[in-house]
Amino acid sequence: MKSIKVNKAFIGGIIGFVLATLLVTLGFWKTILVLTVTIIIAYIGSVLDEYDVNIKTLLTMMSRKNR
């Protein structure tokens, strides 16, 4: 896998901007809720990636109609 060099100050600035925008528009507690849900979903995604789970198979199993 290729390594991409990322400027950490640029990434930090983008994260700070998004966080400040969320705080101003949503308020403190709603921002905390959004961040919590984002972290949980990111964790679930990393677990699915780690165990090489096929999402398409899961979706077809959940959406299969009973006959």
Consecutive sets of 10 residues in the chain, 67 residues long: mean pLDDT of each?
76 94 96 96 92 85 72
- Helix/strand/coil percentages in the chain, nearest 5: 75, 0, 25
- Is 2 inside a domain boundary? no
| pLDDT for residue 52 | 87
As a whole number of Å, the end-to-end CA separation of the chain is 45
What confidence score (pLDDT) does residue 17 get? Answer: 96
**pTM exceeds 0.85, yes or no:** no
Per-residue pLDDT at 66: 59
**How many folded domains does the chain comprise?**
1
Contact 8, 16 (CB under 8 A): no
Q: Among 37, 31, 33, which residue's Cα sits nearest to residue 15?
A: 31
- Residue 15 forms part of a structural domain: yes
Residue 30 included in any domain: yes
What is the pLDDT, as a whole number, of residue 28? Answer: 96
- pLDDT value of residue 1: 56
Containing structural domain, residue 51:
8-63
Q: CA 27: distance to chain centroid?
A: 20
